[in-house]
Chains A and B, each alone.
Chain A
Amino acid sequence: MRVTFTANGKPVEADDVWEGESLLYVLRERVGLPGSKNACEQGECGSCTVYLDGLPVCSCLVAAGQVQDREVRTVEGLSEENGELGLVQQAFVDAGAVQCGFCTPGLLVQTDALLAQDPQPSDTDIREALSGNLCRCTGYEKIMDAVRLASARTCAKAVSE
């Protein structure tokens, strides 16, 4: 089948999609957006988290056909239009929250979604929001630092605007 949808603001189409393919497979192998990662492919690790119509979902659990005419935003879409890092991306780099980085794309999308909803989450709020995203390298401390930093910058930006 053919699937057409919007990925990071641009219309895309994929042909000859097998009906069992996931959105994750289509993004990675057909659309050329490999940023979302394939770690467990059963919705347990969050590495493949993307926005679907503005809500974070595990793209491995979304059948390709379900995204027909819908909007997908991936980690690649978190950067600024000029290619500069987005605020959440920069915070993860600055805080040392990236080690192997395989969990990072999913964590970035989930953090972006959290801060959009609550720019000043408590530590427990952060832990609850990110509890579906596994990281094996960092011990999560630097990830907490990154989210706190992104929160502070988000709030500072809101004040200055």
Chain B
Amino acid sequence: MSGTRTIQGQKNLQKIHQASKDGIGGSPLRPDGTLKVKGEFAYSSDMWHEDMLWGMALRSPHPRANILSVDISEALKVPGVYAVLTHEDIPGSKYYGLEIQDQPALAIDKVRYHGEAIALVAADHPETARRAVKKIKVEYEVLTPITTEEQCLDPETYGYVHEPHEYKSHGSGNVCHSQKLVSGGGVTDEIRALADVIVKGTYEVGMQDQAFLGPESGLAVPAEDGGVDLYIATQWLHVDRQQMAPVLALPEEKVRLTLAGVGGAFGGREDLSMQIHACLLALHTGKPVKIVYSRDESFFGHVHRHPAKMTYEHGATRDGKLVFADCRIVLDGGAYASASPAVVGNAASLGHGPYVIPNVRMEAIALYSNNPSCGAMRGFGAVQACFGYESQMDKLAAELGMDPVELRQINAVTQGDFMPTGQEIDAPAPVAELLQRVKDMPLPPPLDLENLDVRTLPGALSNTSHGEGIVRGIGYSVGIKNVGFSEGFDDYSTARVRLEVIGGEPVAMVHTAMAEVGQGGVTVHAQIARTELGVEQVTIHPANTEVGSAGSTSASRQTYMTGGAVKLAAEAVKQALIDKGRRRYGWEHKDITLVGGKVVSETGGVLVSMVDLLGDEAIDLTREHHHRPTVPFDKETGQGFGHVQYTFCANRAVVDVDVELGLVKVVELTAAQDVGRALNPLSVVGQIQGGCTQALGLAVMEEIVVKDGKVRNASFTDYLIPTILDTPPIPVDMLELPDPHAPYGLRGVGEAPTVSATPSIVAAIRNATGLALNRVPVRPEHLTGTL
């Protein structure tokens, strides 16, 4: 078995142990933190095997072309090259996909986006592989790419991204998925007539990238049983395996995945990237193969946030009560489906915001195009819509002469209200309160032109201003996001908890397949085990496919789902231990619990130490946690109990704008969020601040620029993510109103701030400049009129 061979960087592939007294509600330090600051934590790009090869892909320079021929003969002659593979070398199914198997593992006869993988090379050095890739000769018939909404919706004229006979999604033409929603009376002339004021707007969101720092990478090691072991950075080990095994023509049990260190994810690792490629090369050459994407390859190798074009119309009475909302959201899904159908479902069901609106009409669609594929990114369809509806709220407030926060509060949903999907909000929904909280927070001091440090101004270190032309603005927003997988998906997670005596102390071991991507799940799992089992010592087993699926580290679901599974498994272990004691000692106490390594009666009397009761026997139990069932939305009306839980965040942004140069500096970005119950307040605050910062990026700088289907800025030089100079203080006000349906009352945290914060920043820029601004990211040319 290859699993017994040496993989350098084993440390975090072994168990991580941490002792602490902190259960849930405390903020113990990360168990992997020490390894990470020492540089010893092994990320997927750090994997190393003594006779490993380096894999690399040849990628298409064209967004749409027919492949007439592929000649690999010259590449094979490069000294040090061990294999050159095309789709013809794939032993099994040639297609894969998260929801729809429409993506070829290597291009077959045509390419559908700029950067699509066509062939693979394995060589003894990355430079050898690079040279060999350049020697692969591909003859293309270049076609005009289908890139705009107009082109996509007229396939008779502009063509099909996937020809009708090869169509695998439920849509038609170039529509990948659509979802309609009608509630109340919908939007008719009669309904419109009920409104005193109507505002319309069209809004656009650019293509944002997850831009995680750790590039896609991993090491595939061929095994003696004909299978393969993959050490990989991913968000969901089991769904990777499920997609990989048919392509590799292997049974799932022969495709073993172990989570290597993950350098951020944000949705970008939900789809496969190099997993199949590395395994194909390893199985073909019989040698371990490592693939590490360069940054530009990373931009080509994963899906992005869907760019969106949205039209919104809102009507309200004179006193600010919303009467109707009419919304259309068009998402560009790019060449392959990825998670587009689920993103559409979110956009349709959350796209009117956290507001009570008696009459709603909504249509959300995702298109197939020859633009880069889009799929999961933090906020998942709720981000785009939030920019639309929150821009509308400001517009409506201005039209009514109302305070924008007050208008939002008048219409804010609360527990017991119904969403336009007909779903009752059956947990706290403190939307109005969150808005009040950010509004009531003290404002940062005004710009002091006498004593300013130019490094704090827009333009910062570039020294572009000494205060002249700088105007300050303030803006507000609030957003809604679902937690967990929706629309009837049987979302579940598995956890194994083992309790045993090691070194004279009771030690709990937690084993799940949860991808720790930086969010801190490993810390929380240890806290839950400590809380339920009354121990201090907890060991986290490496995440792998030897235990049942944990589902994806996405949708703000992991603490809810896998945390819930750890709770169930730990409770079962606790019960088994107490039962053992009852059998042995004949206890008749009703409420027996575990505290401080002891078995304790309801009156606090120590019955026995856990060490004595356990003896040499370990208790090792596995449990699954399913959340309560949801249903798919009705295709035409959008009605249905589709979401498990909602989560809300409100923001206030303060910005300084250099109106002459069009430069923006966010001075402060305040957040208030209901987290249900903070299992680890330090981590929760970290998630909210990080989420706000990605929203800041979308507001003022982040966009993959695509022209005629070609990516123009696939590097960290040209795709800008916020630096520490671009990022302001982010005060966080955390509200804890328990959700009665969730483990410990918790609420998913990670995505809500990324949904809500972008519109607050744009609102603040509008407030400073008086410009309409209907597109993000807001660029200097939008502010200076030099577009």
Measured CB to CB, the residues of A under 8 A from B are: 18, 20-21, 28-29, 32-42, 44-45, 47, 74-76, 79, 85, 89-90, 92-94, 96, 98-105, 108, 124, 126-128, 130-144
- By a CB distance below 8 angstroms, the chain B residues around A39 are 213-215, 263, 295, 716
A101 with B41: CB separation less than 8 A: yes
A102 with B214: CB separation less than 8 A: yes
CB distance from A72 to the nearest CB of B (A): 13
CB distance from A86 to the nearest CB of B (A): 8
Residue B725 interfacial (CB < 8 Å): yes
- By a CB distance below 8 angstroms, the chain B residues around A101 are 32-33, 36-37, 41, 261, 263, 518
Select the residue from B211, B266, B683, B686 with max chain A CB neighbours within 10 A.
B686
- By a CB distance below 8 angstroms, the chain A residues around B535 are none
Q: For residue A92, which residue of chain B has the nearest CB?
A: B37
Q: For residue B519, which residue of chain A has the nearest CB?
A: A99
B729 with A127: CB separation less than 8 A: no
B730 with A35: CB separation less than 8 A: no
| Further pairs besides A35-B39, A136-B212: 20, Cβ < 8 Å | A28-B46, A34-B9, A35-B40, A39-B214, A93-B37, A96-B686, A99-B686, A100-B518, A101-B37, A102-B518, A105-B37, A108-B37, A127-B724, A127-B725, A134-B213, A136-B210, A136-B264, A139-B689, A139-B690, A139-B692
Select the residue from A29, A35, A44, A100 with max chain B CB neighbours within 10 A.
A100
A128 with B725: CB separation less than 8 A: yes
A45 and B717 CA atoms in complex are apart in Å by 9
B213 with A85: CB separation less than 8 A: no
Given contacts A127-B455, A134-B213, contact A104 B724 (CB under 8 A): no
B724 with A143: CB separation less than 8 A: yes
CB distance from A139 to the nearest CB of B (A): 3
B455 with A128: CB separation less than 8 A: yes
Q: Enumerate 7 A-B pairs (CB-CB under 8 Å) in ascending A order.
A: A32-B8, A92-B33, A98-B33, A124-B455, A138-B689, A140-B724, A140-B727
Given contacts A124-B453, A130-B724, A136-B264, contact A38 B215 (CB under 8 A): yes
CB distance from B315 to the nearest CB of A (A): 37
- By a CB distance below 8 angstroms, the chain B residues around A74 are 39
B213 with A136: CB separation less than 8 A: yes
- By a CB distance below 8 angstroms, the chain A residues around B729 are 141
A139 with B39: CB separation less than 8 A: no
A32 and B48 CA atoms in complex are apart in Å by 9
Given contacts A44-B715, A139-B693, contact A75 B48 (CB under 8 A): no
Given contacts A42-B716, A85-B34, A131-B724, contact A100 B212 (CB under 8 A): yes
Q: For residue A106, which residue of chain B has the nearest CB?
A: B213
Residue B71 interfacial (CB < 8 Å): no
CB distance from A55 to the nearest CB of B (A): 19
- By a CB distance below 8 angstroms, the chain A residues around B295 are 39-42
Residue B402 interfacial (CB < 8 Å): no
Residue B14 interfacial (CB < 8 Å): no
List B21-61 residues whose CB lies under 8 Å from chain A: 27, 29-30, 32-34, 36-43, 45-46, 48
Candidates B127, B292, B721; contact of A134 at CB < 8 Å: B721
Select the residue from B9, B264, B266, B688 with max chain A CB neighbours within 10 A.
B264
A151 and B295 CA atoms in complex are apart in Å by 33
A89 and B33 CA atoms in complex are apart in Å by 9
Q: For residue A102, which residue of chain B has the nearest CB?
A: B263
B730 with A40: CB separation less than 8 A: no
Given contacts A32-B8, A40-B715, contact A76 B724 (CB under 8 A): no
Candidates B125, B685, B716; contact of A44 at CB < 8 Å: B716
CB distance from A59 to the nearest CB of B (A): 12
CB distance from B687 to the nearest CB of A (A): 8
Candidates A76, A100, A142; contact of B38 at CB < 8 Å: A76
- By a CB distance below 8 angstroms, the chain A residues around B37 are 75, 85, 89-90, 92-93, 98, 101, 104-105, 108
Residue B262 interfacial (CB < 8 Å): yes
CB distance from A151 to the nearest CB of B (A): 15
- By a CB distance below 8 angstroms, the chain A residues around B693 are 138-140
A93 and B31 CA atoms in complex are apart in Å by 10
- By a CB distance below 8 angstroms, the chain B residues around A18 are 125, 127
Measured CB to CB, the residues of B under 8 A from A are: 8-9, 27, 29-30, 32-34, 36-43, 45-46, 48, 125, 127, 210-215, 261-266, 292, 294-295, 453, 455-456, 461, 517-520, 682-683, 685-686, 688-694, 715-717, 721, 723-725, 727, 729-730
CB distance from B581 to the nearest CB of A (A): 38
A45 and B298 CA atoms in complex are apart in Å by 15
- By a CB distance below 8 angstroms, the chain A residues around B45 are 37-38
- By a CB distance below 8 angstroms, the chain A residues around B456 are 124
Q: For residue B125, which residue of chain A has the nearest CB?
A: A18
- By a CB distance below 8 angstroms, the chain B residues around A132 are 723
A99 and B41 CA atoms in complex are apart in Å by 12
Given contacts A96-B27, A135-B724, A136-B213, contact A37 B717 (CB under 8 A): no
- By a CB distance below 8 angstroms, the chain B residues around A104 are 36-37
Complex A-B, nearest 7 residue pairs according to Cβ-Cβ distance, in ascending order: A35-B39, A100-B518, A139-B689, A102-B263, A101-B36, A75-B39, A139-B693
CB distance from A41 to the nearest CB of B (A): 6
- By a CB distance below 8 angstroms, the chain A residues around B717 are 40, 42, 44
- By a CB distance below 8 angstroms, the chain B residues around A99 are 264, 518-520, 686, 690
Select the residue from A29, A33, A38, A135 with max chain B CB neighbours within 10 A.
A38
CB distance from B720 to the nearest CB of A (A): 9
A96 with B683: CB separation less than 8 A: yes
Candidates A41, A90, A100, A133; contact of B214 at CB < 8 Å: A100
- By a CB distance below 8 angstroms, the chain A residues around B688 are 139
A131 with B39: CB separation less than 8 A: no
Q: For residue B54, which residue of chain A has the nearest CB?
A: A29
A83 and B38 CA atoms in complex are apart in Å by 9
A134 and B213 CA atoms in complex are apart in Å by 8
Q: For residue A146, which residue of chain B has the nearest CB?
A: B37
B30 with A139: CB separation less than 8 A: no
CB distance from B420 to the nearest CB of A (A): 32
CB distance from B757 to the nearest CB of A (A): 10
Given contacts A127-B724, A142-B686, contact A29 B48 (CB under 8 A): yes
Select the residue from B9, B42, B263, B453 with max chain A CB neighbours within 10 A.
B263
Given contacts A96-B683, A124-B455, contact A131 B43 (CB under 8 A): no
- By a CB distance below 8 angstroms, the chain B residues around A76 are 38-40
Select the residue from A76, A136, A138 with max chain B CB neighbours within 10 A.
A136
Q: For residue A20, which residue of chain B has the nearest CB?
A: B127
CB distance from A30 to the nearest CB of B (A): 10
- By a CB distance below 8 angstroms, the chain A residues around B29 are 93-94, 96
A139 with B519: CB separation less than 8 A: no
CB distance from B753 to the nearest CB of A (A): 9
A137 and B30 CA atoms in complex are apart in Å by 15
B689 with A142: CB separation less than 8 A: yes
CB distance from A145 to the nearest CB of B (A): 10
- By a CB distance below 8 angstroms, the chain A residues around B214 are 37, 39, 100, 102
B724 with A137: CB separation less than 8 A: no
A101 and B682 CA atoms in complex are apart in Å by 16
A89 with B520: CB separation less than 8 A: no
A38 and B44 CA atoms in complex are apart in Å by 11
B33 with A93: CB separation less than 8 A: yes
A47 and B517 CA atoms in complex are apart in Å by 17
A102 and B217 CA atoms in complex are apart in Å by 13
Q: For residue A101, which residue of chain B has the nearest CB?
A: B36
- By a CB distance below 8 angstroms, the chain A residues around B125 are 18
- By a CB distance below 8 angstroms, the chain A residues around B263 are 37, 39, 100-102
CB distance from B343 to the nearest CB of A (A): 21
A45 and B724 CA atoms in complex are apart in Å by 11
A17 and B326 CA atoms in complex are apart in Å by 63
A93 with B34: CB separation less than 8 A: yes
- By a CB distance below 8 angstroms, the chain B residues around A140 are 689, 693, 724, 727
A75 and B694 CA atoms in complex are apart in Å by 27
B213 with A100: CB separation less than 8 A: yes
Candidates A40, A93, A131; contact of B723 at CB < 8 Å: A131
